[in-house]
Structure 1
Amino acid sequence: MLASNFLCKLSVDVGELVSLGFGPLGERRRVDILGGTFEGPCMKGTVIPGADWQLLRQDGVLELDARYALRDASGALVHVLSQGMRHGPAEVMARLARGESVDACSYFFRSVMRFETSSPGLDFLNRTIAVATAERKARQVELTAWAIL
């Protein structure tokens, strides 16, 4: 049986989608991660820019592979690897693609997160796997991360 503890909430600012074209597995895309904020019981700070490399599969599932960093209020840096999936009814996904506001309950958006840091105060993250629920906004992704115990 799995248990979890709330880790943090992240508000990640994102840029324009850039299509790299269609290949045998689907459309390869990239979205810049521009910054943002995060806050939880044990940490708080800002998101350092990175990128989300995506694959829009032919079955409509969007595979996400985001890599960025966090800067804690203490100045500590944390590398983040966040890999997940987003999918839902075609009309809902089309609305999201247009930047419209969509109820997060109408589509699936989850991510598995891993961390790496040299900070003694945040070293628990080196042993943490988190699962996040996410919501796509026009220019932001909001994630709520739960550490798996």
Structure 2
Amino acid sequence: MIAPEPHPVVGPGFTPALSFAFEVRVFLAPSLHIGHGGGEVTEYVPITGGTVDGPRLRGTVLAGGGDWCDRRRGVYQLDARYLLETDDGAVIDITNRGYYHEDDPTAPAQYDGALRVSEPGVYYRTSPVFRTDAPAHLWLARTVFVGLARGDDSEVAIRFYSVT
């Protein structure tokens, strides 16, 4: 007996869609130098607070988190961990990893409506994971997100899009 061919989960030409969920603005303290060697520099950037605003989530960023950043050959590998407190009082843990580098000719300026969410030539993307047991926010812990980030030394804004 010949086994039937499996049906494809996605057909030819399928492209996942992104749906804007919310934006997090993270306020930063000056970075702290940790070490360097072998072409790498490691720094820690304390998070002092921030805001959460969007159609699917609103609240604040609690002070006390931080971003560990390793820089090798102009590429920053980011590993941030911090807490969000929603307007209804739930606390959500976020681990947000990503990359930042400049002078990438394949990275165009990107827009969400009229808002420019990334600069031309700059690749600044994150992949967050959320944890919570708050029933109203369990969707965060069950969804894959992509973050498009922009910012400077004092503030970073990350627009989170759910992948559908």
Tell me the residue number matched to 2:130. Answer: 115
Hey, which of these two has a bigger chunk of helix by percent?
A: 1
Pick aligned residue for 1:77 from 70, 84, 91: 91
| Secondary structure at 2:120 match in 1 | helix
Correspondent of 2:30 among 10, 16, 41: 16
Hey, what does 1:141 align to over in structure 2? 156
1:29 and 2:43 correspond: yes
**TM-score when normalising by structure 2:** 0.78
Query: What 5-or-longer segments of structure 2 have no aligned partner?
Result: 1-14, 104-117
Aligned match for 1:88, one of 98, 102, 110: 102
Q: State the one-letter code of the partner of 1:21.
A: G
Q: More relative contact order in 1 or in 2 (CA 8 Å, sep 6+)? A: 1
Q: Distance in 2 between matches of 1:37 and 1:28?
A: 27
CA distance in structure 1 between the partners assigned to 2:153 and 2:69 by the alignment: 17
Answer with 1 or 2: which has the greater Rg. Answer: 2
Once residues 23 and 74 of structure 1 are traced to their aligned partners in structure 2, the CA distance between those partners, rounded to angstroms, is 45
Alignment check: 8 A CA contact 2:24 2:50 kept: yes
Match of 2:140 in 1: 125
| 1:116 positional shift | 0.6
The structure where strand makes up a greater share of residues is: 1
Aligned alpha-carbon RMSD (Å)? 1.6
Per-residue deviation, 1:6: 0.8
**Number of residues of Structure 1 aligned to a counterpart in Structure 2:** 136
> Does the Cα contact within 8 Å between 2:35 and 2:43 map onto a contact in 1?
yes
Compute the displacement of 1:115 (Å): 0.3
Q: 2:60 aligns with which of 46, 60, 66?
A: 46
Indicate the percent of aligned positions where both proteins have the same amino acid.
Answer: 30
Q: TM-score, normalised by structure 1?
A: 0.86
Matched, 1:62 2:76: yes
SS at match of 1:16: coil
Which piece of structure 1 moves more, 33-42 or 62-71? 33-42
**Shift in Å at residue 30 of structure 1?**
0.3
Unaligned runs of 5+ in 1: 90-102
Residue in structure 2 matched with residue 96 of structure 1 by the alignment:
none
